[in-house]
């Protein structure tokens, strides 16, 4: 077993295969065609205007509401994911999207299991109902380029941490804005504008905690995703 793991790790490092080991579901699949991974993720993260689903088939299966939730709210049901992936390697692909910070669990008052896919959120926030005062920290990427998808991945990570706290309220999520609760009342806001990401809260103790979380998550993104 050890020799097999070493061999898989060696070929993974060479780029011959893709073999991830952070979860049991990921360990069970060895991918020899990376394009299959890209195609699989593209069945979820897609532009409906350019790549529409088969509406007739969706109606037969009763998945119209599920698709509407994905495109309107960025929420994917297990039933929809199983349909998109032909009920093949579903747990592996879910773990892969979690590992890539493209998807997180969503357990806010729903009976059926759902997942958040922040990059599918299209509704913009008018910023009229945001914090005018409070503690702010800006992350300025203007000297370089704001990596594509970093805001959505940060939202994914923060919502994933919020889900683990049973007392948290449901986040308020938009394309470039997120209000994430850390309890029934306290929250912080995450905003993307041009080449900047700003985090803001009105509570000084929470501000320190959120800044620590933000730095840790950016380091994690740099190490695990951005290389």
Over the chain (227 residues), what is each successive 10-residue block's mean pLDDT?
Answer: 83 85 88 92 90 90 94 94 95 94 86 88 77 82 72 91 84 93 90 89 89 86 68
The tally of CA atoms less than 13 A away on the side-chain side of residue 213 is 21
- pLDDT by residue (tens digit) across 100-129? 899 999 988 766 789 999 999 988 887 656
For the chain, the 3-state helix, strand and coil shares in percent, each to the nearest 5, are 45, 15, 40
Rounded-to-integer distance, Cα 88 and Cα 55, Å: 21
Paired tokens of 65: 């509401």
Paired tokens of 33: 């065609």
Q: Give the per-residue pLDDT at 37.
A: 93
Q: Give the per-residue pLDDT at 74.
A: 94
Rounded-to-integer distance, Cα 58 and Cα 61, Å: 5
Q: Give the per-residue pLDDT at 90.
A: 96
Q: Give the per-residue pLDDT at 144.
A: 66
Q: Give the per-residue pLDDT at 143.
A: 74
Rounded-to-integer distance, Cα 192 and Cα 138, Å: 10
Q: Give the per-residue pLDDT at 142.
A: 76
- pLDDT by residue (tens digit) across 29-38? 999 998 999 9
Cβ proximity of 207 and 132 under 8 Å: no
Alpha-helix residue ranges (DSSP H) falling in 43-193? 55-61, 64-73, 78-84, 90-99, 150-163
DSSP 131-146: -SSSEEEEEE-TTS--
Q: Give the per-residue pLDDT at 36.
A: 93
Rounded-to-integer distance, Cα 162 and Cα 180, Å: 7
Q: Give the per-residue pLDDT at 214.
A: 87
Q: CB atoms < 10 A from the CB of 87, how many?
A: 9
Q: Give the per-residue pLDDT at 38.
A: 92
Rounded-to-integer distance, Cα 27 and Cα 5, Å: 10
């Amino acid at each position: 077993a050890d020799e097999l793991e070493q061999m898989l790790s060696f070929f993974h490092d060479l780029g011959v295969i893709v073999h991830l080991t952070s979860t049991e579901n990921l360990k069970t699949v060895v991918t020899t065609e990376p394009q299959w991974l890209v195609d699989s993720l593209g069945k979820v993260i897609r532009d409906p205007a350019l790549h529409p689903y088969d509406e007739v088939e969706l109606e037969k299966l009763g998945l119209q509401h599920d698709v509407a939730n994905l495109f309107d709210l960025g929420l994917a049901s297990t039933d929809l994911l199983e349909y998109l992936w032909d009920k093949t390697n579903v747990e592996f692909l879910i773990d892969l999207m979690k590992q890539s910070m493209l998807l997180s669990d969503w357990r806010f008052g729903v009976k059926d299991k759902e997942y958040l896919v922040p990059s599918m959120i299209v509704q913009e926030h008018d910023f009229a109902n945001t914090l005018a005062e409070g503690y702010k920290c800006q992350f300025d990427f203007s000297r370089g380029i704001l990596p594509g998808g970093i805001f959505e991945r940060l939202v994914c990570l923060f919502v994933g941490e919020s889900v683990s706290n049973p007392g948290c309220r449901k986040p308020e999520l938009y394309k470039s804005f997120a209000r994430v609760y850390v309890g029934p009342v306290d929250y912080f806001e995450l905003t993307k504008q041009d080449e900047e990401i700003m985090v803001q809260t009105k509570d000084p103790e929470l501000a320190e905690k959120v800044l620590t979380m933000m730095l840790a998550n950016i380091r994690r993104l740099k190490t695990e995703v951005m290389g």
